[in-house]
Amino acid sequence: MTTITEPVSVTSPTDLARRIALPAVLVVLIGIATALQPSFMSGSNIQDILTQAAPLGMVVLGQTLVILVRGLDLSVASLMATVAVLATAFNATSNAMIPVIFVAAMVLSAMVGLASGLLITRRNVSPFLATLAMMIVLQGLRFAYTHGAPAGSLPPGFRTLGTGQFFGIPIDLCAFALLFGVLGLMMHRSALGRQIYIVGGNPRAADLVGIRSDRITILCYVLSSMLAGLGGLFLVGYVGTVDNFVGRGYELDSIIAAVVGGVALSGGRGTLAGAVTGALILVVMFNIVIILGLPIQAQLVIRGTIIIAAAALFARNARGA
C-alpha cells in the first residue's frame, strides 16, 4: 500500500527566489511610502493599515486553499456583502446577539461553499462558472431582500470587533493571526494539508492512493466561503455601515495576492505565508496611491498591471517547470 508522508510542494530555485523576493519587495514599498510621507510609519497609520488588511487576509487564506486544488472562488466578495446584510437583518441592538449572528453567517457561508464545491466536483462545472453563478445568485437574493437599500442595525460590539484593539493590537488582526496559525498548522503539519497539496498537484495520483479528491475540493470551497464570511463580518464592523457592495473587489484582490505570493494557478504549489505577503504588498501599494492623492482609477490601473505581471510570471514559471 502506498503511503504519503510529505506534501507535494517541491521548492524549486524559482520558488525559493520568490520567497526571498516577496519580503524584499514589501520592505522596498514601505521605504517608498515612508519617503513620500514620513507619517506612513506612525503607529496610528500602521494600525489602520493592519486593521484594513485583516479582512482581506482572511479572504486570501480561503482563496489560496481553492487555488491550491486548481480552483477559483469568484463569489467571495458577493458573499461578504450578503453576510453583512444578514448581520443587519437581525436588527439587533444587544451585543448578546453577536454570537447568533456569527453562527448564522457561518452556516450561510458553509452552504454557499458546499453548493460551489458540489457543482464543481459532481457536475463538472468549471470553478470559474460555478463561483461566478454563485456570485450572481447571491447578488440577486441580496437585492431582492434589501430592494437596493439595506436597512437595519448592528450591535455596537461589531464596531469594536472591526476597529477595536486588544493590548494595542487590532482585534481583527488578532482573529486573522489565529486563523493563519491554525490553517498553517493544518497545511504543513497534518495529513489533510498534505492531501490538499497532492490533490492540487496531481488529482489522478491522489485518487490512485485512496485520497477522495472530491471531498478535499469541496472542503476547500467550504473553508473559503467561511473565511470570506468572517472577513465580511469584520469588514462591516470596520466600515460601520452596510450596503450591497461591502467587500467589492476582494474577489480579484484575493486572487492577485495569492498569485503574487507564489501560489500556482495550476494547483499544488504555494504557501499561505506567501499569499498573505502578497496581500500586504497590495495593501501598501494602495496606501501609497492614497498618500499621493491619486484618484481611484489609479488603483484600478495598479490592479490591472499587477494581474498582467503575475500572469506573465506564472506563464514563464510554467514553461520552465
pLDDT of residue 288: 82
| Mean pLDDT estimate for the chain | 87
Nearest Cα to 306, choosing from 273, 282, 276, 275? 282
Least confident piece of the model among 133-137, 139-143, 213-217, 297-301: 297-301
pLDDT of 239 reads 84
Contact 286, 299 (CB under 8 A): yes
pLDDT, one tens digit per residue, over 3-43 is 444 444 445 556 666 667 788 888 998 998 899 888 888 88
Checking if the pLDDT of 224 tops 60, the result is yes
pLDDT at 12: 56
**Per-residue pLDDT reduced to its tens digit, 303-313:** 778 777 766 76
- Give the type of residue at 315: A
| pLDDT computed for residue 304 by the predictor | 77
pTM of the shown model:
0.90
| Poorest-pLDDT segment among 94-103, 106-115, 202-211, 223-232 | 202-211
Would you say 95 and 155 are in contact if contact means Cβ atoms under 8 Å apart?
Answer: yes
Residue 112: band (very low, low, confident or very high) from pLDDT cuts 50, 70, 90: very high
CB atoms within 10 A of CB 9: 21
Q: What is the pLDDT of residues 45-81, one digit of tens each?
A: 888 888 889 999 999 999 999 999 999 999 999 999 9
- Residue predicted with more confidence, 129 or 283: 129
Domains observed in the chain: 13-320 (1.10.3470)
The top-scoring range by mean pLDDT among 27-41, 123-137, 235-249 is 123-137
Interacting residues of 275 by C-beta distance below 8 A, sequence separation 6+: 60, 61, 63, 64, 257, 258, 261, 262, 263
Higher pLDDT, 193 or 244: 193
Give residue 2's pLDDT band: very low, low, confident or very high (50, 70, 90). Answer: very low
Residue 150 has pLDDT above 60, yes or no: yes
Per-residue pLDDT band for 212 (boundaries 50, 70, 90) equals: very high
pLDDT at residue 317 in the model = 57
pLDDT of residue 7: 47
Which of 194, 224, 45, 266 has the alpha carbon at shortest distance from 130? 224
- Res 16: pLDDT: 62
pLDDT digits (tens, 9 = 90+) for 243-265: 788 898 899 999 989 988 889 88
- Over 70: is that where the pLDDT of 319 sits? no
